[in-house]
Structure formats: structure tokens, C-alpha cells
Amino acid sequence: MTHLLPWPTCSTKNGPRGYPLLTSPTTDDRPDQQGTKEVGLWYPGNISLSLTGYSDSDFAGCKIDRKSTSGTCHLLGSSLISWQCKKQACVALSTAKAEYIAAGSCCAQTIWLRQQLNEFGILLNHIPLLCDNTSAVNLTKNPVMHSRTKHIEIRHHFLREHISNGTCEIKFIGTDLQLADLFTKPLAKDRFNFLLNEFGIINVNCA
């Protein structure tokens, strides 16, 4: 069975092939949504039950307080099931620290999704968490608290614990394949459309 869900929407109407499609009841009154009224998330029925997390950050992206933005998303198989874009609570002093904090947020969501899947009898360990910053990846593997990391709040270091106990497994991924890039900054048209395709976000009239 295949389902098509909205991006983002809230009311129901008939979609392609009779499947439900959720759309916003206020879409017609919002000019910013005119180009996405018929766009939705496509969930094929034969996806694999493997969970993958992506984390990225836009270092010092806010021009007012210079705080960074964390962007995270999770795929079940090839289907997008969770995403987040949020300004970080503290000012990061380097790109590595901003990426490390974003990876911690991604890990927290990964743990929650893992618990939900566990309730359905799906047991997952060594869940890949993909980050495009080698310094941030190395910070999760370095147990020594030295001068480069001691200023990072303790609450962010729980990421190391879950890496060490095998719940998650952080890996490096090239920037070109970093899907969470969509949630941190404006993108060129070609890059934007590439990421939409990777997430399975499609026009329902073409489904």
C-alpha cells in the first residue's frame, strides 16, 4: 500500500489513485503556498525498516545574535518521517561546535523514534547519524574533555554516551549528500529540487 501525505497540510481530500491527501484549508488565502498546494510526501508501501538521521547547521547564520541554526531529519528506509529546523540556544564558537550541537539534537530525536519503533517490535541499534563535519564527528569519539570542548554545555555531551553504547553510530557524509542542508539555509534551485526528490516530495498530479 502506498500513501501520500502533505508538505505541510492538515485537511483531507481525495488524492491520486484514491489515497487520502491532506491539504491546508487556508491554502487558497496564502500566497506563499500557491506553488505547493499539490505537493506532498510520497510513502511507498515496500520501504525497508531502517532508520537514518541527518544533521547539519548554519554556523552563526542569525545576523542579530550570531546564533547558529540546527537542521535535522530522519528517514525510515527512503521515506522522510521527521524533520526539524531550530535556532540553537547558545552561541557556538566554531563550525565544529555548531555541528556537534546539531548532531546532539538529531541524536535525541533518533532515540525517541527508536523507542516508538521498539513498541512495534522493531529493534534497532547502531542507527547511522550522518554529519558533514569531520571535526564534529571526531568530537563524539574523543573521550577526553580538553580545552576545545569544555565550554560546550554538558547537556550536549549525551551524544557521546549513545555513540559509545551502540545506540547510534555517527558517520561522515559529503556535503553534496547531506539531506539536512534543506533545513538550514536558502539553496539554489537545482540543489533545492535535488533534495525534494531525495525526500520523496512530489507533485500529486504527476503521481
Summarised one tens digit per residue, pLDDT across range 56-77 is 999 988 888 899 999 999 999 9
Quick one: 110 and 165 in the same domain? yes
Note down the domain range covering 17.
3-46+188-206
Q: Does one domain contain both 129 and 29?
A: no
Most confidently modeled of 50-54, 94-98, 158-162, 201-205?
50-54
> Do 87 and 11 have their domain in common?
no
Check whether residue 40 and residue 129 sit in a common domain: no
CB-based contact 2:45 (threshold 8 Å)? yes
CA angle 68, 201, 16 (to 5 degrees): 155
Confidence label for 144 from pLDDT (cuts 50, 70 and 90): low
Percent of the chain exceeding pLDDT 90 equals 45
Same domain membership, residue 97 and residue 14 = no
Beta pairing class for 11-14 and 20-23: antiparallel
Is the Cα dihedral 86, 89, 92, 96 positive or negative? negative
Identify the pLDDT of residue 155.
Answer: 59
| CATH assignment at residue 99 | 3.30.420.10
Same domain, yes or no: 56 and 88 = yes
**127: phi then psi, degrees, rounded to nearest 5:** -70, 120
**Range of weakest confidence among 24-28, 33-37, 43-47, 90-94:** 24-28
Let me know whether 124 and 160 are in one domain: yes
Predicted pLDDT at 153:
59
User: Do residue 12 and residue 42 come from a single domain?
Assistant: yes
pLDDT tens string 161-200: 888 889 999 999 999 999 999 999 899 999 999 999 999 8
Q: What pLDDT is attached to residue 31?
A: 63
Q: How many structural domains is the chain composed of?
A: 2
Q: How far apart are the first and last CA of the chain?
A: 14
Same domain, 23 and 38: yes
**Is the same domain home to 27 and 59?**
no
